[in-house]
Every structure is written in C-alpha cells, then in structure tokens.
Amino acid sequence: MKTRAAVAFEAGKPLEIVEVDLEGPKAGEVLVEIKATGICHTDEFTRSG
C-alpha cells in the first residue's frame, strides 16, 4: 500500500512529503483514513535541531 509521509531527513531543514510503501492491515486490524494532522511543539523543537 502506498501512502505519503512528512519526513525529516536533516535537522533544521523543512519536512519533505515522500511516498512510502506500507503493509496493509493484517487480520484483526483496521485501516483508518487521516483527514488532518499536526505537529507538537516538542517535535518541532527536535526537528529544528
């Protein structure tokens, strides 16, 4: 299954949206569609270097 992810490849650089391959849901799991997301202050501080 292909999806997109915001990835930090280097501290202090902008996040890059890349296409990634993920396994689909397994038995007993569900697939959830995400409509929106955010980033918390702590994650942004860590990403900024």
State residue 28's pLDDT score: 98
Q: Tell me the whole-structure pTM to 2 decimals.
A: 0.68
**Average pLDDT, stretch 27-35?**
95
Give dist(CA 41, CA 47) in Å, integer.
10
**Average pLDDT, stretch 12-38?**
95
**Average pLDDT, stretch 20-43?**
94
> Is residue 48 within 8 Å of 39, Cβ to Cβ?
no
CB neighbourhood size of 35 (10 A): 5
Specify the DSSP element, H or E, that contains 20: strand 16-21
> Is residue 15 within 8 Å of 6, Cβ to Cβ?
yes
Query: For the chain, what percent of residues have pLDDT higher than 70?
Result: 100
**Average pLDDT, stretch 4-14?**
93
Q: How confident is the model at residue 49 (pLDDT cuts 50, 70, 90)?
A: confident
> What is the amino acid identity at position 37?
T
